[in-house]
Each structure stands twice: as structure tokens, then as C-alpha cells.
Structure 1
């Protein structure tokens, strides 16, 4: 049996190929037949390039139905899909290209000039463009990828793959600042999608309102894959917009979002019970959902948000139940087939299993757990226990009923607006700024973003740094979601007896309602 993920999806497509698969916010329709034929054309194009087995197809494009079709075509052709955040800039893209060595890079036409310089210098063989404008009929302004693909057959026999064959690489980062490529197989992704279809009770007539980005595990491997596996229509929004979500929700039955989405929906006076009258399931993930948001949403709509927990290396691990209590400030229980345990270590380094209400490091094992980090065998070995459990780096506790609460992140990861932000990466950029002696980056609670990236800087003597100047410099250097919402200046950073910066002290200090007078801040934008 062909374990290719596309073959799994295709086996669940509706018998009526003329039914709508994707409807865009501006009324374009893509049938299941359109998706089948368009992905075949692109798969034929990729296959014609004589790429080596396991070649990576790196993609940094704006969200569109064509972008999703490119993902499917890559799977069909047996290659490895590598999605990249559209906010990444030249230094970041240079690293990813150098590390992953993609044979093909697909970018937005507006970025072609600077991407081409990086890609061709690094030895990338093929560079195509894909615009956000276009259709499965290959409309004008759709970019060179579709222009080339239109000359190929709309029939393609999906390449045979084994369950352990690599399908997708998702880049994540560690506290060292060096990004790591999490390798997910066809079996990893397919098994998780099938579990979620059953656990979340996907219905034959479900319609998914898709407002998430496609370069993220949430929008691609949870939301889009869920609809594809179920043969369900998707209403595609190019990005989250509260007014657009309110306009389309009455025709939808499933909505997935990060906590920021729910905060902004609640801030819209048009959002209420009538807007949600046909929705059966709201799901939240990628960041902690504040208790106030959870409670207010239920009161306003009559719906209880279902929170779940996952990460790039593991896909989804736990979920609150579809039937039964959805408990606020928890991420529910381990999904079927997932073994999850909490471990604590004593001063001698001996590990033991935690009981209820005891805090420990979250470790997991299951068919959803990734194959390892791309070209980092030592790091991969370091992140797994001797008995095969993956060490997530998150810290949590089970209550007496078996619901898991995430209480912290041992690696200082910041999740802001659903995006992962790693302090060390930003600190490295800050420390290179003329006039900066040292810096520390932390996340502080924020009602909209979940956590706001915050920088604390110690200036060199006579340095003329300003908060606005630092912000503007960072905006031209790193992706916008990584840029601190606030910048404070301090005389020194608090340290323990071993010289390590005490970020817990910084979080307490700069989360205070009134910041110190000598630490001016920048209002979150």
C-alpha cells in the first residue's frame, strides 16, 4: 500500500469531483477536480527537473490555494516540502538555504531579486515564483511556476512512498539560536491527521474557515490536512481579519486559531452567538489561551473553545475532549496512540515519574513523533531518552483527572501571536548593535499576543541608544514578529551566583503595570 500522504488524502476526496474544495475570500472556487489536476501538472513539472531522491522544495510565498496545491504536488512527486515563514528576511533565508540545500526554491515575485542572489550563490538549481493572485486555471500574474506547469499533463501517478520516508521539514529553533529542521515522515503526519479526524469528530458536511498561515504546523498540518483528509470544503482567508471571519463564520462549522484571534474576535462588536450559529467546533493552539479569554468567549457565544497541544517535532500530542469537559488553562489529555509522561530529576541527576499535581518535564513517544533534526544526529540523540521518549523542553503537570497544564518552557521559548520566538537569536542581533553591552530577551504576558517579546539592554558608557532607534534597526534586520514590543534600558542584568542571567526576575520586574522611570518602553503595535 502506498504510504504517500497525498495518496491518503486522495483516498478520502469526495466522489463528486465537481464539489468545492476551496473557496477564497473573494469568491473564487476550486473544485476537488481542480486540485487533483493542478497538483498533477506541478508534480509533472517537478519530476521533469530530474531532481535527486529526497530533494527539498523550499517555499516562501503568500497564502493562496495555489500554495496549498504546491504542497500537495510536492508530496505527489515524492519530494520533501519545506515551508518558510513569509516574514523571514535575507539573513534568515540565507541560513535555511545553506542548511537545507533545496534543489528548488519558490518565492513571491516581489522577493525574486534578493532571493535569487542568495539561492543561486548557494547552488540552488531552480527558482520559481508564485503569486498570491491566480487560480487553478493559471490566471494572469500567477508567477513562473504555474506558467511553466500549464504545459504539463494534468494526470500524474502518485509516487510510491514508505511510511518512514521524509515528507516535510519544519524549521524550529533552539535557545542557542541555531534553527533546526524537524523531519516529519509521511507516516508521522498521516497518523496524526487520522487520529485528529476521529478525536475531533470531523463530519461529512464540515466546512473549515481557514484563517491561519500555511507555513506553520497549525495552518498546514492540522487545519488544512484535517479538511483534506475529511474531504471537507475550506473557506480560505489570506490572513486573519476579524471582520472577514465574522462574515464567513455563519457558513462554517470548524474554526482553528491562535489565542490572538479569539481576543480580537471578542473585541469586535459584530461577533456573537448569531455569528457562530452554525459552528460546531472552535479550536485554539500554538500558545496558551488566557483564562479570561476562555471564559468570555463561552459567555459571549455559548461555545467552549477546545485547547490542544503540539509542536513542530511531534504534531499534536494532547487535546481537550470533543465530548466531555473542556477545561480552561489545560490542553486536555494525551491523544490515542501517544504516550506522554512527566519526569523530574533530583540533584543527583536521577529521574522519576511525576504524580498528579507534580511539575515535571514533558516527554512523549508515538507514531507522530518526528524522525529527528535535519543533519544534526548528535542533537537528535540528545533530545531522546534511552527508552525512546522525545524531550519536548516544556514543563507541565497533570491534575487528578488527567488533564495536562503547560506551566512553563524550560528552553525560554516565547510564543507571541502563535509564532515561536527564541530569545538567543534576538539577543545575538542586539549584542551586535554599537553601544549595546549586553541584552536579555524575555516574554511577558500580553492580552492580545499571549506573550510580548521584551528586550532589556545594558548600554555601554556614553552610548546614545534610544528605544525607537533599536526597534527600527531590528525591523530592518529580523522578521517583524521577533521584534520586541518593548525595549527597556537597565544598569545591569540580575544574575545568580553562577553568573546566569535571572530571566524570572526580569519577567517579574517588567511585567509590572508601571515600568521603572529609567526603563522607557514602546507601546505594542
Structure 2
């Protein structure tokens, strides 16, 4: 965190594990700041969050009183936060948006797909999903009946996330056996992640196929 404050980045991409640490650090500092400051933070947070979620510009007063000091934790110049590698908690995503006053985007991808499979659209304030499909690939959900995930699930279809397109790799080096396990005859890469389609073509990660074998 000291390095970030010194380097003052404008674009910062990281993983949920670090964002969780940032969240814990800020909330612990607020809790130990005294009743008056903690109360001011709560009022400012709720007011700014409500404005952001309703598409309005929040009052700059809250930044001057509360959030500019928090922004300095990342150097004070960040205008974009990106998250990947694993799902980011919706509460923490909202928290980052409010405290740092910038766009927070979550994406989904794999090494086997040359990174991005899907990404949130700029201006999408709904948390808890990884956005819509990249233009460079197709995505479909395949039924996993042994885990009770199917395309007929209500209120939203669920299943294993499969990806096809030019971004998908050709296979594991000198390992045809493992390659055939993840890429089927139609060229679909089976990610092992369980997803659900939300309104607006948004993809949500809800489970992992391998989890059923871990117990």
C-alpha cells in the first residue's frame, strides 16, 4: 500500500484478494476513528452510494469531507479499478466505487482463452456479475444435471460455461489427452466454471465444477 501511495497510479488492475485487504483496512480504520467520524462516514457512504446507483452525480461535499483522504491510499489519482481472477464480492465492488469515486470493472477470463471471456460494460452499476461476452468469442451454458444446473432453471438458466472462438488456445503443449478433456469436437472449451445468465446478457459465476469432487 505504501508503494501505491508513492507511485500514484491512474489505472489499477488487481485481484479480489487485494481488494478485500483494502476494504478491511479502510473499514477497520473507520471503526477505530471514533463515534463522530464513523457516523459521518456512514452518512457520506450511504448518500454517495444512493446517488451512484440511481445514476446521479453525488455531492462533491462528501469527497472533500471523507473520501479524498481514502483516495490517497492509492495515490489519489486512480480513475479506473479492474478486477479479475475470481469473483469480487458485490458489497466490496460497491464499496470501492463509493470510496474511490471511479469506474470499477470486473472481468472473467482464463489463460486458455488469451484472457478476456467477458467484461462489464462501462457505466453498468449492477454488481455481482462479470459482464457480457467479449466480441471475440461465443459463450454457452451446458447442463450439469449431477449438480442440478440446467438451462431450464428459474429464474435464470445455469450450467457449465463453455467458450468458442479465435481467442481459445489450440491445446496444451504435447498433451493431447488433457487437451481433449477440455476442448470438445465442436471446438468448445469447457471452463469448469458454473455460470448463470442474468438480464441484459450478463454472466454471473456461481460455482465450480470441480467443487463436487473436493469433499
Q: Which structure's CA Rg is the greater one?
A: 1
Specify the alignment match of 1:265 in structure 2.
22
Deviations 1:74-104 (A, max 9, x none): xxxxxxxxxxxxxxxxxxxxxxxxxxxxxxx
* Cα gap change, 1:345 to 1:265, in 2 (>3 Å): closer
Specify the alignment match of 1:295 in structure 2.
94
After superposition, where does 1:18-167 map in structure 2 within 5 Å? none
Highest relative contact order (Cα 8 Å, sep 6+), 1 or 2?
Answer: 2
Per-residue deviation, 1:326: 4.2
Matched, 1:243 2:43: no
Specify the alignment match of 2:12 in structure 1.
255
Which one has the bigger helix percentage?
Answer: 2
With structure 1 as the length reference, what TM-score do the two structures score? 0.30
In the alignment, which of 156, 165, 172 is matched to residue 357 of structure 1? 156
Specify the alignment match of 1:316 in structure 2.
116
* Cα gap change, 1:244 to 1:501, in 2 (>3 Å): closer
CA contact (8 A) 2:12 2:82 kept: yes
Matched, 1:325 2:124: yes
Per-residue deviation, 1:260: 1.7
Gap regions ≥5 residues in structure 1: 1-241, 413-499, 504-525
CA contact (8 A) 2:6 2:75 kept: no
CA distance in 2, matches of 1:248, 1:334: 33
Matched, 1:391 2:194: no
Question: Secondary structure of 2:128's match?
Answer: coil
CA distance in 1, matches of 2:82, 2:174: 34
Gap regions ≥5 residues in structure 2: 30-67
Per-residue deviation, 1:353: 5.5
Specify the alignment match of 1:279 in structure 2.
78
Deviations 1:125-167 (A, max 9, x none): xxxxxxxxxxxxxxxxxxxxxxxxxxxxxxxxxxxxxxxxxxx
Question: Secondary structure of 2:112's match?
Answer: coil
CA distance in 2, matches of 1:406, 1:337: 20
Question: Secondary structure of 1:286's match?
Answer: coil
CA distance in 2, matches of 1:319, 1:276: 26
CA distance in 1, matches of 2:193, 2:145: 18
CA distance in 2, matches of 1:273, 1:354: 45
Q: How many residues align?
A: 168
After superposition, where does 1:455-470 map in structure 2 within 5 Å? none
CA distance in 1, matches of 2:99, 2:189: 39
Matched, 1:376 2:175: yes
With structure 2 as the length reference, what TM-score do the two structures score? 0.69
Per-residue deviation, 1:285: 0.7
Question: Secondary structure of 1:373's match?
Answer: coil
Please, what is the CA RMSD of the aligned residues? 2.6
After superposition, where does 1:477-496 map in structure 2 within 5 Å? none
CA contact (8 A) 1:360 1:396 kept: yes
Q: Which runs of 4+ in 1 moved over 4 A?
A: 268-271, 274-277, 352-356
* Cα gap change, 1:345 to 1:259, in 2 (>3 Å): closer
CA contact (8 A) 1:286 1:310 kept: yes
CA distance in 2, matches of 1:280, 1:387: 41
Deviations 1:446-479 (A, max 9, x none): xxxxxxxxxxxxxxxxxxxxxxxxxxxxxxxxxx
Deviations 1:455-513 (A, max 9, x none): xxxxxxxxxxxxxxxxxxxxxxxxxxxxxxxxxxxxxxxxxxxxx9772xxxxxxxxxx
* Cα gap change, 1:246 to 1:408, in 2 (>3 Å): same
Question: Secondary structure of 1:381's match?
Answer: helix
Deviations 1:36-66 (A, max 9, x none): xxxxxxxxxxxxxxxxxxxxxxxxxxxxxxx
Per-residue deviation, 1:345: 4.8
Specify the alignment match of 1:305 in structure 2.
104
Per-residue deviation, 1:382: 2.5
CA distance in 2, matches of 1:307, 1:333: 11
CA distance in 2, matches of 1:342, 1:285: 20
